[in-house]
Structure 1
Amino acid sequence: MVSTRPELEAAQNEYDSFLAQGGLQPEYLQHILLEEIDLSGSFDATDVSGVFIGGSPYDTSTPESAKTRTQLRVEEQVRELLARALKEGVPVLATGFGLEVLAGYLGTPTSREFGEALGTADVYLTAAGREDPLLAGMPQTFSAFVGHHEGAVDVPAHATLLASSADCPVQMIRVGKSVYGTQFNPELDAERFAQRVSVYSDAGYGDPGLVDNILAEARSSQEHVAGQVIRNFVSHFAREE
């Protein structure tokens, strides 16, 4: 699990969310904080079954001159990881910011036109998505938590569109056989979403005053369908011990 967030509380909550949704124990999911560690010396990608790349408050569409040195370093390390994964066939599930960096690496920019305020979005599968193993068992349309300033302007070259939504057409893609990106947050159920909102309430993702209503609606259902993406990733790519 590669965390790109500078906020340690949010990074830890995100890691815990992936653990829970993946049905994993901590000894099977190494946690790397790009804020603190140089990724190149942290692990051998060929020694892992797969890599989760988490989201971030960073925006790839921010002008290069306005990005902090930390953001520039984080983006570069994520790009290097994605390049290696694509070359060596390492399975990756990149969420939020991870998808945005993946799109940029493939030559597709992001735009604030496709941002989504804090809340839920109805995500629907494409024909390719219905046939993809990471979306096995998923309904044609499902609700997922979102909250991002920007989104990819188009489906990147060499990528397959797996899921979309009305306000953000590029919600999930696959590149090659094993590198995936989601703009929605498959790791977040209602309680985890509440934790995320508490950290980023002033980060411009929408009206925090509406969150209580969103959470009340989400909590009315015990089903967290989007988490199936993480469970499918684990079951599909986990190596035999």
Structure 2
Amino acid sequence: DVADERPVVLKVDHVAKSFRLPTEQASGLKMAFLNWTKGIKGYTEQKVLRDISFEVHQGDFFGIVGRNGSGKSTLLKIISQIYVPEQGTVDVRGKLVPFIELGVGFNPELTGRENVYLNGALLGFTRDEIAAMYDDIVEFAELGEFMDQKLKNYSSGMQVRLAFSVAIKAQGDILVLDEVLAVGDEAFQRKCDNFFSEVKKDPTKTVILVTHSMDSVKKYCNKAILIKNGEIIERGDK
């Protein structure tokens, strides 16, 4: 298999994650202490991911598919190293750029220009590297005349375009993308489509696309996993 000869850039190995949900609010510290002394837990464990394992190779356009509540968002945060798995390991080889939550790393009181530099710094780029990417980011976002206005004066659509442009123009090795955020008007959507088509042709770039749309998977992805109730129930490749 030719695919196996390409370097592995992401290895997810037997990952599991639970969250603690409070069962009932113990009324006050005294009750919580009494419950604790009796061995009564004030929470239940909810398993969100169970024994997830897969590999992504350099150049893959890898789909993670699932409905809301399937566990895919938690998996995304573990891959992006926002959450720590309670079991298993995640090995990332290369610079990973996540675009998974809007507004993370953006400050509404700063201008668009300042936010590009702030966001780039949070992604681990130097000032010079951001400066080299800046014109590309602004051109892709089509926000030239607005870059010196404060972000809080942007419409939500403009904010999405800026955040998305930073993520895809940042010269990382692995782009992790939640498709729900890749919204915009039709013209911008076409632009994103074109970008994805270009990326697919670049054997050094890897994209992990989280989506609930099988159409997107068919259109872009060469490999995909389907997650349901925190488990991988299907795997496929082209």
TM norm. shorter chain > 0.5: no
Q: Please give the TM-score of this superposition, normalised by the length of structure 1.
A: 0.27
Larger Rg: 2
Q: Please give the TM-score of this superposition, normalised by the length of structure 2.
A: 0.27
Which has more strand, going by share of residues?
2
